[in-house]
Amino acid sequence: MATLEERPILTEATAVVPENPDGKDEPRARKVSRHKTFRSWKATPAVTLLIGLSSVATFLGVWAMVTELGWVKPVFLPSPMSVLDQGIRLVETGDLWVSVIASSTRVFTGFGLAVLFAVPLGILIGVWWPAKAIMDPFISLLRPLPSITWIPLSILWLGIGEAQKIAIVFMGSWVYILLYTYESTKRVDPILIRAARNLSANDFAVMREVVLPGALSGIISGLKVTLAISWSCVITAEMVAANNGLGALIWQAKDWGNMPLVLMGMVCISLTVLVADWIMVRIERLLLPWERNLRE
């Protein structure tokens, strides 16, 4: 109760402008009053959306203005209209879907294989220290390597087909998935394991009923981060050696000097990754129903 009663007093205290030794009272006082104006705004979803939309509109407006008025040359920065034109053409010719599907397939195959490989391994090194001792040197050496450094070897071994692109995604993702899984496994509350054993759970049951579900939330958060990394891997791989996919689309557009298409390709990558992320959030809600009230 005491803290509740103290709260208004605390607010007062923060609003009071302390004595300013420099004698510059003016800017301080203004800062406080501006702060109060914003405080009367409530961060409702509608207000947040409105602010977001207006900032995007402002950005697009400025972009359109500087390009349409000829302040910036079109070869240097294409206008938003020309980018939109390219977008419409991509949709009409069907090239957009071909590229999106080509890249997505590579990402989800490579990412999926990395999940199948690294999640069980991460749990294993989390619960069994010898496995960790075996894996530790590899993790330390592989983690700092950008996946792009695997491109020469992967082309040598796998050619420039799909397998090579998938391998780049795999190599760029699995170490992170492993580390996130390991950390999440380690963070499972030991008292829950104790309680489960006290209720007759054997090693296997502790694993299935306590460690796995306990680590799941952290693993999924890790997968969300890693999925974005997988996307940057595939784009890189496609820019170096591919004849389809969003990365190839951008790279070819660059070769043709088609900057509007480059920008449109970038927009498409952003949107595709956003959709992929949204799907992950849905999957997360489906897999973690017990966190439903923490989200609301």
Partner 1 sequence: MKDVKNKASILSAQNVFKSYKISGQKDILAVEDLSLDINEGEFICIVGASGCGKSTLLNMFAGFISPTSGRLLLHGEPIVGIEPRCGMVFQSYALLPWKTVRGNVEFGLKMKGVSPKVRRERAEYFIDLVNLGAFADRYPSELSGGMRQRVTLARIFASDPEVLLMDEPFAALDAMTRQVLQEELLRIHEDQRKTTVFITHNIDEALVLADRIIVLSSRPGRVKAIVKNTLARPRHMTVQLSKEFTELKSEIWSFVEDEVRRHGSVTPEYP
- Rule CB under 8 A: is residue 216 a binding residue for partner 1? yes
Q: Which is nearer to partner 1, 192 or 229 (CB)?
A: 192
Rounded Cα distance between 165 and 241, Å, is 9
Question: Exposure pattern of 63-76 as b/e (b: 16+ CB <10 Å)?
Answer: beeebeeeeeeeee
Q: Beta-carbon neighbour count of residue 96 at 10 Å?
A: 21
Output helix, strand, coil percentages for the chain, rounded to the nearest 5.
85, 0, 15
Residue whose CB is less far from partner 1, 142 or 196: 196
- By CB under 8 A, name the one of 84, 121, 131, 196 that touches partner 1: 196
List the one residue from 210, 241, 264, 276 that touches partner 1 (CB under 8 A): 210
String of contacts with partner 1 for each residue 269-288, x by CB under 8 A = -------------------x
**CA dist., res. 83 & res. 180, Å (int):** 38
Minimum CB–partner distance for residue 136 and partner 1 (Å): 25
Helix (H) or strand (E) holding 191: helix 190-198
Q: Is 207 a residue that touches partner 1 (CB under 8 A)? A: no
What are the helix and strand counts (H, E) for the chain? 14, 0
* Residue closer to partner 1 (CB basis): 80 or 214: 214
Rule CB under 8 A: is residue 204 a binding residue for partner 1? no
Among 26-34, 72-80, 166-174, 185-193, the segment contacting partner 1 (CB under 8 A): 185-193
Q: Please choose, out of 48-56, 99-107, 211-219, 262-270, the segment that lies near partner 1 by the rule CB under 8 A.
A: 211-219
Terminal-residue alpha carbon distance, the chain: 26
Q: How far is the CB of 123 from partner 1 (least distance, A)?
A: 16
Residue 243 Cβ vs partner 1, minimum distance, rounded to whole Å: 46
CA-based torsion, 99, 105, 108, 110: positive or negative: negative
Per CB under 8 A, contacts with partner 1 among 22-41 are: none
Give me the least distance between CB of 208 and partner 1, in Å please.
11
Nearer to partner 1, 89 or 186 (CB): 186
CA 241 to chain CA mean position, Å: 25
Place of tokens 């009230």: 293
295 binds partner 1 (CB under 8 A): no
Q: CB of residue 197 vs partner 1: minimum separation in angstroms?
A: 4
Q: Contact between 2 and partner 1 (CB under 8 A)? A: no
Please count the residues of this chain forming the interface with partner 1, following the rule CB under 8 A: 25
194 touches partner 1 by CB under 8 A: yes
* Total Cβ atoms within 10 A of residue 174: 24
Residue 293 interacting with partner 1 (CB under 8 A) = yes
Closest CA to 223 of 270, 271, 173: 173
In angstroms, the CA 169 to CA 149 distance is 12
- In angstroms and rounded to an integer, the radius of gyration of the C-alpha atoms of the chain is 26
Cα 228 to its chain centre, rounded Å, is 4
Q: How far is the CB of 214 from partner 1 (least distance, A)?
A: 7
Binding site residues, partner 1, CB under 8 A: 189, 191-192, 194-202, 205, 209-210, 213-214, 216, 288-294
